[in-house]
Chain A
Amino acid sequence: MTLLSLEQVSVAYDNHLILENFDLKLEEGKLLSLLGPSGCGKTTTLRLIAGFLEAKGGKFMFDGRDYTHLPVNKRNFGFVFQSYALFPHLSVYDNVAFGLRLRKMKEGQVKEKVLRMLDIVSLNGFEKRFPQELSGGQRQRVAIARALVIEPDLLLFDEPLSNLDANLRVTMRVEIRRLQQELGMTAVYVSHDQEECFSISDQVAIMNAGKIEQLGAPTDIYQYPKTEYVARFIGFNNFLVFDGTRQGNTGLEWTIGDYGFDVQLQAGQSTANTYKGAIRPEDLRIIPLGQLTDLQKSLSNQVPGTVKVSTYLGRSYQFEVQTALGAFTVNQEMDIPIAPGQQVMITFPADKIVMVAQ
């Protein structure tokens, strides 16, 4: 069931439109991530949902009710801030109890709920501490506990892990996902970090300049970006700019000049459209030209070139290869790197080329 829907919403700061005719839908019990570069409007979207910002136009429906003009404090949404925003003058216990006391709950019941919530986020024994006496990860968990304990209808996270170190980030995101699933919460999660978004979400929305470029399950987006923007964003650094099609040995081929490429179209894509072929650096293969037979050289999905730069990445080498079709980046594991200046053949595996809208 659709729980949340933004319909044609616009938001402006000082008459400068940040979101224009923005649409978003989210099912109950799912976690949706908003992912995109800095300044694309992720926080703005989240604040709009929370009610910190007023929409200029459009409608925000939640659970069948119109929330567009409902004040923040009537929404019953939990918000986890990037800066945690814990109340510095209150102990951990009082921070978590804050929302419950506003609901005029009896102190006994407050205590029961707070202690259970602190147990869930593994902070038993920390009740009397003050926020500044906690580590970043602990503060984070207090912030989550404070937002969860009011049993919100929706949880909103704004880059909750960005202040933590890499290890803790991984632990905490697993934790957040576990809590969200255990409690059956619906959540919207904002992050810069792709891995974080892909690992904890049911749905990912890739945003670009106030618009959602693509919304889908993490695996769908990761494997089949629909636009060049999304492809670039998730690491498809190489693009083939096709100029036509022709009948090749194995069927229809896309061409760039004399070069032919066998590709696999996704559902809904037609041969009539103009596409770019996107491919990740680690999906390209390079072989020194001298090691190939003439027959091998004549196959499609290959482009010869010269290695310009070779960089050691630890597990693999990264090569910048200049070809007649432009420069390509290739990541490949090998024991002895190919030296700059060498002639190589780049292979583009047909099943790894993703056709994206230009």
Chain B
Amino acid sequence: MKINKMYWLLLPGLLFLTVFMLIPIILTIGSTFVQEGKPTLEGYLYFFKDAYFNRILLTTLRVSVFTTVICIALGYPVAYYISRLGTRKKGILLALSIFPLLTSPVVRSFSWMIILGRKGLVNNALVATGIVDKPIEILYTPTAMIIGLVHLFLPLIIITLVGVMENVDSELIRAAESLGASRFTALRKVLFPLTIPGLIIGSVLVFVGSLTAYTTPALLGGKERVISTFLYQNAMTLNDWYLASVIATIMIVITLVVVGLMNKVATKLNPKG
């Protein structure tokens, strides 16, 4: 009885989500299958036959995958280092590492434009040291998007991994070492499997985040489009809300598929306990 009454507390939140999120999403998705009162798949057929859109889709997936992989590769050692520190140092380093999240995406992207531009820091250094003889194209390429997105999402994966690693008893690493494992082997055979759940959560966050990010790819990508910027273009510039809805639905489906796949992987690899 008591517990049943508690459920009423969920009502305001549920109502809010239903009215402002669930219903609009369903309406958006639904609208893509109907045109002029008749059921149709025209929007989707149009997209998947269109080479331009296919390229955008591919760029988006490539950027998201690279961002995720690079974030893991860079974030994992940092997270391990932070997780082994004392409380005070850990607090300071964690605060520092989430700093990029606290700056506006616009400011962050403009800084990268200055750094990566034709006359930017990177190109100046490369030309000055003679590694290349004329400035290379970094800004307004998928590479620039990846750099910007890694900068944005690295903190996310670090925080997630630090949380998981803190829960791995350091005695386990010592136990592995006492059984004859080098430090690296101990980390590979004990720490790594135990942090897989965190890796999956972190990867989903980064992947979905990269997939849906707008400001960073819009500013650093130049004419290069990803799905989100393409969607914006269709809705705002071309005022084609039907196509925008189709794109939105495709994004939702990709997100769900990725989350579902990762979940599958997670349950399969999930260490007991």
Pair from one complex = yes
Contacts from A to B (Cβ < 8 Å): 50-52, 71-73, 75-79, 81, 83, 85-89, 98-99, 102-103, 130-132, 146-147, 150
Q: A102-B185, A131-B273 are in contact. Are A85 and B177 (CB under 8 A)?
A: no
Whether A88 lies near B178 (C-beta < 8 A) is: no
Task: Name 13 extra pairs, CB < 8 A, besides A73-B177, A89-B271, A102-B180.
Answer: A50-B174, A51-B178, A71-B182, A73-B180, A73-B181, A79-B178, A85-B171, A85-B174, A98-B176, A98-B179, A98-B189, A130-B272, A130-B273
Closest 10 CB pairs of A and B: A89-B271, A99-B179, A88-B273, A85-B171, A85-B175, A130-B272, A79-B178, A72-B177, A102-B180, A132-B273
A87 to B171, CA, bound (A): 10
A89 touches B178 (CB 8 A): no
User: Do A87 and B175 touch across chains, with their CB atoms under 8 A apart?
Assistant: yes
Sample of 23 A–B contacts (CB below 8 Å):
A50-B174, A50-B178, A52-B174, A52-B177, A52-B178, A72-B174, A79-B174, A81-B175, A83-B169, A83-B171, A86-B175, A87-B175, A88-B272, A89-B190, A89-B272, A98-B179, A102-B180, A102-B185, A103-B180, A131-B272, A147-B178, A150-B179, A150-B180
Chain B nearest CB, measured from A351 CB (Å): 47
Chain B residues near A131 (CB-CB < 8 A) = 272-273
A78 cross-chain contacts in B, Cβ below 8 A: 178
| Contact residue among B176, B183, B194, B272 (Cβ-Cβ distance under 8 Å from A132) | B272
B interface residues, how many (CB within 8 angstroms): 21
Residues of B within 8 A of A88 (CB): 172, 194, 271-273
- Assembly CA distance A76 to B182 (angstroms): 12
Map CB proximity to A onto B151-177 as digits: 1 under 8 Å, 0 otherwise.
Answer: 000000000000000000101101111
A89 contacts B179, C-beta separation under 8 Å: no
CA distance A71 to B186 in the complex (A): 13
Please name all residues of chain B whose beta carbon is closer than 8 Å to the beta carbon of A76 when the two chains form the complex: 180
Given contacts A102-B185, A132-B272, contact A81 B171 (CB under 8 A): yes
Judge if B193 is at the interface, Cβ distance under 8 Å: yes
Please name all residues of chain A whose beta carbon is closer than 8 Å to the beta carbon of B190 when the two chains form the complex: 87, 89
B194 neighbours in A (Cβ, 8 Å): 88-89
The answer for the CA separation of A89 and B193 in the assembled complex, in Å, is: 7
Q: In the complex, what residues of B have CB within 8 A of residue A89's CB?
A: 190, 193-194, 271-273
Contact B181 A87 (CB under 8 A): no
Interface centre among A52, A86, A89 (most CB of B within 10 A): A89
Once the chains are docked, how many angstroms separate the CA of A103 from the CA of B182? 12
Tell me how far the C-beta of A327 lies from the nearest C-beta in chain B, rounded to whole angstroms: 44
Chain B residues within 8 Å of A102, by CB = 179-181, 185
| Closest A residue, CB atoms, query B189 | A98
A150–B181 CA distance with the chains assembled, in angstroms = 12
A253 smallest CB distance to B (angstroms) = 56
The CA-CA distance from A18 to B16 in the complex, in Å, is 60
* Choice from B172, B178, B180 contacting A87 with Cβ under 8 Å: B172
Q: How far, in angstroms, from A81 to B179 measured CA to CA in the complex? A: 12
| B181-200 at interface with A (beta carbon < 8 Å) | 181-183, 185, 189-190, 193-194
Q: How far is the CB of A104 from chain B (nearest CB, A)?
A: 10
Note all chain A residues with C-beta closer than 8 A to B182: 71, 73
A87 surroundings in chain B (CB, below 8 A): 172, 175-176, 190
A62 CB to closest chain B CB, in angstroms? 14
In the bound assembly, the distance between CA atoms of A114 and B273 in angstroms comes to 23
B166 to chain A, nearest CB (A): 15
For B176, the chain A residues whose CB sits under 8 A away are 87, 98
Bound form: Cα–Cα A86–B124 in Å? 54
Residue of A nearest to B269 (CB): A89
A91, closest chain B residue (CB): B272
Contacts of A150 in B (CB 8 A): 179-180
Q: How far is the CA of A70 from the CA of B178 in the complex (A)?
A: 12
Q: Chain A residues with Cβ under 8 A from B171's Cβ? A: 81, 83, 85
Please indicate the chain A residues that have their CB under 8 angstroms from the CB of B169 in the complex: 83, 85
Q: Which residues of A contact B181 (CB under 8 A)?
A: 73, 102
